[in-house]
């Protein structure tokens, strides 16, 4: 019995030795180190970005940042949550109870929210120029604010950015609503102008005028920013989030600015990446939406961003916006503009 065991182990040893000599020379000669061992994936911090509109290419910088892994590189997973302008500001302001860390909202909305005691602050400005425009058929003169006088102007309603743009234009032109005829037409501006129900309408410069041109209609456009620029859309957060998690805010803004820079540098790539986030049912005409994105690009840059970097908030612009809003009765009392925004999270510095 012992002889059989001895013979078995001898044969087994020979077999193992034979296998060892046939090992390829490319095989590792040392044991794997800890560095080469599989690493556990870090847990991402999940945050909600409350959007002020439906899925749309206007949010391309954020979609690009998500698609290219810029948020992931900052340890962040972003949930896009679509709501309405007046809702997103309140939700961001009431973090952590609301569960909403970030919101896309305008400077005008932030000032209104702060007047109501909501502790919300803009930390990154996307739009450097107010994106609303007055538009009309080519036979209607529309070269300056004076051309609005006596015209029938269609607005969605007495709320939101289009209404503020009209009030700001009247303010700049030293006019009142008595100098024009205002019609509330809902969100039918394109059809209202096309069917001559109104001579002029207000809408987003990269939207309604583009739609009319797509239908072969020549249009005249007067940009609200060229008449009286207002603090526009950006990223806003609660003061509590800034105080408790400043690095989270910094990482989110840094990733978003990378997405913005890439969008400006390569709009075609940005459009294709954005399609991952915009349902086909809401995309509509892809060629039209691509033009909407292209028309948006100039509004995200300015002399200020050339000097201080993308995302910078112009304090003087905000001061003028606050002054106008008080004059127009939108704000019932002064709002401390310096507490309504910060540049500490963008390359331009603290102001």
- The per-residue pLDDT for 2 is 36
Any idea which of 30-39, 58-67, 276-285 has the lowest mean pLDDT? 30-39
- The per-residue pLDDT for 174 is 97
User: What pLDDT, in 10s, does the model give residues 221-260?
Assistant: 999 999 999 999 999 999 999 999 999 999 999 999 999 9
Cross-strand bridge partners of residue 201 = 135, 154
Q: Domain residues of the chain, as ranges?
A: 45-128+231-339, 132-228
Residue indicated by tokens 């009319």 = 212
Give me the DSSP letters along 10-73.
Answer: HHHHHHHHHHHHT--TTS-SSPPPGGGSPPPPPPPEEEEEEESSSS-GGGHHHHHHHHTTHHHH
Contact in structure between 269 and 52 (CB atoms under 8 Å): no
Residue 166 pLDDT exceeds 90: yes
Give me the DSSP letters along 248-299.
Answer: HHHHHHHHHHHHHHHHHH-HHHHHHHHTTTS-HHHH--HHHHHHHHHHHGGG
- The per-residue pLDDT for 6 is 34
Tell me whether residue 13 is exposed, middle or buried, using C-beta atoms within 10 angstroms of its C-beta: 0 to 12, 13 to 18, 19 or more: exposed
Residue 326 pLDDT exceeds 50: yes
- The per-residue pLDDT for 25 is 31
- The per-residue pLDDT for 211 is 95
CA proximity to 49, closest of 241, 180, 290 = 241
Model pTM above 0.75: yes
Q: At what angle do helices 315-327 and 107-115 cross, to 10 degrees?
A: 60
Residue 83 pLDDT exceeds 60: yes
Find the radius of gyration of the CA atoms of the chain: 28
Contact in structure between 132 and 205 (CB atoms under 8 Å): yes
Residue 311 pLDDT exceeds 60: yes
Helix, strand or coil for residue 184?
strand
- The per-residue pLDDT for 16 is 33
**140-159 burial, b for 16+ CB within 10 Å, e for fewer?**
bebeebebbeebebbbbeee
Q: Which CATH number fits domain 45-128+231-339: 3.30.420.40, 3.30.70.1890, 3.30.470.20, 3.40.190.10?
A: 3.40.190.10
Domains 45-128+231-339 and 132-228 share a fold: yes
39 band by pLDDT with thresholds 50, 70 and 90: low
How far are the Cα atoms of 1, 12, 16, 17, 21 from residue 9, in angstroms, in the given order? 13, 5, 10, 12, 18
Range 132-228 has CATH code 3.40.190.10: yes
How far are the Cα atoms of 86, 94, 111, 202, 291 from residue 100, in angstroms, in the given order? 14, 8, 19, 31, 31
Helices (H) and strands (E) in the chain, counts: 16, 10
Averaged pLDDT, 152-176: 97
Q: Residue 346 and residue 310: Cα distance in Å, rounded?
A: 8
284 band by pLDDT with thresholds 50, 70 and 90: confident
**Which one has a higher pLDDT value, 60 or 40?**
60
- Residue 52 token pair: 């002020």
Q: Residue 140 and residue 201: Cα distance in Å, rounded?
A: 11
């Amino acid at each position: 019995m012992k002889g059989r065991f001895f013979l078995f182990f001898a044969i087994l040893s020979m077999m193992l030795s034979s296998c060892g000599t046939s090992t390829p020379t490319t095989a590792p000669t040392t044991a794997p180190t800890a560095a080469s061992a599989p690493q556990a994936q870090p847990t991402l911090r999940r945050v909600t970005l409350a959007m002020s509109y439906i899925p749309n290419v206007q949010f391309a910088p954020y979609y690009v940042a998500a698609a290219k892994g810029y948020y992931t590189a900052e340890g962040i997973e972003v949930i896009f949550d679509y709501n309405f302008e007046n809702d997103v500001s309140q939700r961001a302001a009431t973090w952590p109870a609301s569960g909403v860390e970030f919101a896309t909202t305008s400077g005008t909305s932030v000032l209104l929210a702060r007047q109501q005691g909501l502790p919300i602050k803009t930390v990154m400005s996307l739009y450097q120029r107010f994106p609303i425009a007055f538009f009309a058929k080519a036979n209607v003169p529309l070269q300056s604010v004076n051309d609005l006088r006596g015209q029938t102007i269609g607005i969605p309603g007495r709320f939101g950015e289009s209404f503020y743009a009209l009030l700001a234009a009247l303010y700049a032109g030293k006019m009142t609503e008595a100098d024009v005829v205002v019609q509330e037409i809902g969100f039918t501006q394109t059809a209202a102008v096309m069917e001559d129900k109104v001579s002029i309408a207000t809408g987003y410069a990269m939207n309604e005028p583009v739609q009319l041109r797509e239908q072969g209609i020549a249009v005249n456009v007067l940009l609200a920013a060229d008449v009286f620029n207002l603090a526009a859309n950006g990223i806003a957060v609660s003061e509590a989030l800034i105080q408790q998690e400043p690095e989270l805010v910094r990482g989110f803004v840094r990733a978003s600015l990378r997405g913005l820079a890439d969008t400006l540098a390569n709009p075609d790539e940005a459009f294709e990446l954005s399609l991952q986030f915009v349902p086909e049912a809401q995309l509509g005409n892809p060629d039209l939406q691509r033009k909407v994105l292209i028309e948006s690009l100039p509004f995200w840059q300015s002399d200020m961003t050339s000097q201080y970097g993308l995302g910078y908030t112009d304090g003087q612009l905000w001061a003028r916006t606050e002054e106008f809003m008080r004059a127009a009765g939108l704000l019932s009392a002064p709002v401390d503009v310096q507490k309504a925004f910060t540049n500490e999270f963008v390359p331009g510095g603290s102001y």
